[in-house]
Amino acid sequence: MRFPETPSPETPSPEKLAPLAEARRIATICAVCNYCNGFCEAMRAIERRGERASVEPKAAAAPAFSDGDLAYIAHLCHNCGNCLTSCQYEPPHVFAVDAPKALAEVRALSWRERPWLALAIFVAVVALTVAIVPWGTLTARHAGEGAFYAVIPWATMTAATLAPFLLGLALVGVRVARFWRAISRGNTRGGDSLWRAIPLAICDAATLRNLEGGGIACEQSTARRFLHHALAYGFLLCFAATCTATVYHHGFGWLAPYPLLSLPVILGTVGGIGMVIGAAGLAGVRTRSGAAFDTTGDFVLLAQLFAVAASGLALLALRDTAAMGLLLAVHLGTVLGFFATLPFGRFAHAPYRAAALLKAAMERRR
């Protein structure tokens, strides 16, 4: 199977040409205008890459942005809308400059949502669990250590989740490496070294500095930034809960489910609540915004993360009841569906943006 790649300077496919051409047109206008240069890292990148292009040999009077430049700028854009509401050339002006929309369409080239795959895996996991596990075992009340594994054996659960997770990470790593090469080609501008830039990039990613909201002419509040934080940090807390449970299992021989006041349960509960609030809130923000682009990928990812978190919280709440067996299958199905779509779904924007922020930190003027 051939996965869609991040825009590359060499051979863009026909379906990529229109978004790239529109983004190049708008980036060229923005580089000449320079009004929004200090608004965010994406606008600073347009200025830097535009300066680089204009001084290259045989350069045209206007900056020439490569496909790698456009991919880089697109993943730096946090879609805050500040530049659009400040732009004198926004529609209905004849120039029709809508940078957030154009850059969102370029970002969308980096992934192709496959909701049917996640849904098929979810249905398959639940159906196989119901078909294979005896009904009496599935609907019985299980309590104490190892209760989960009385329904689905530990080896089966581990193999089913670990394989797609590791494969997904490997594919994401390959694609991000290609993205890094694409955004680095032709970039001769000096900047900070990699190691000096890493703390700056981590700070930018962790604080969402480019999504503050409420700035000059900005029509969005800080709610979107808060909801992103709730979702992202909730996800990280859930991942930390899984890692802690792994240490409990292999290091101390303690089997799940764990007591309510144990570290894995506390981390998972707080993280799950954060994910539910973040996913539901961001879906509401996207619905109210009326945006006509990049909505499918957003809603598919938000629905997946909401399902993973909500099913996990339901499993925690009802783990001592007869519903535990079915809820365990439901939660496992949502997790496997998420892992299966990890390499080419909307979630891939996180490592792409992290790489773009790292490159921006390396290029940033001191």
CA distances to 160, 303, 304 from 122, in Å: 12, 13, 11
Mean pLDDT of 325-329: 96
DSSP-derived secondary structure letter, 110? G
- In the chain, the amino acid numbered 316 is L
Per-residue tokens: 200 = 């700056």
Whole-model pTM: value is 0.88
Of 245, 255, 252, 253, the C-alpha closest to 146 is: 255
Of 343, 352, 351, 297, the C-alpha closest to 4 is: 343
What was the pLDDT predicted at 294?
55
Q: Is 265 left (phi over 0), alpha (psi -120 to 50) or beta?
A: alpha
pLDDT of residue 264 exceeding 60: yes
- Average pLDDT over the chain reads 86
Domain ranges of the chain: 14-110, 115-363
Q: How confident is the model at residue 343 (pLDDT cuts 50, 70, 90)?
A: confident
Mean pLDDT of 7-11: 44
pLDDT of residue 61 exceeding 60: no
More confident residue, 81 or 46: 46
Calculate the CA 352 to chain-centre distance.
8
Q: Is the peptide bond before 14 cis (omega within 30 degrees of 0)?
A: no
What are phi and psi for residue 333, nearest 5 degrees? -65, -40
What was the pLDDT predicted at 9?
41
- Dmax over CA atoms of the chain, in Å, equals 77
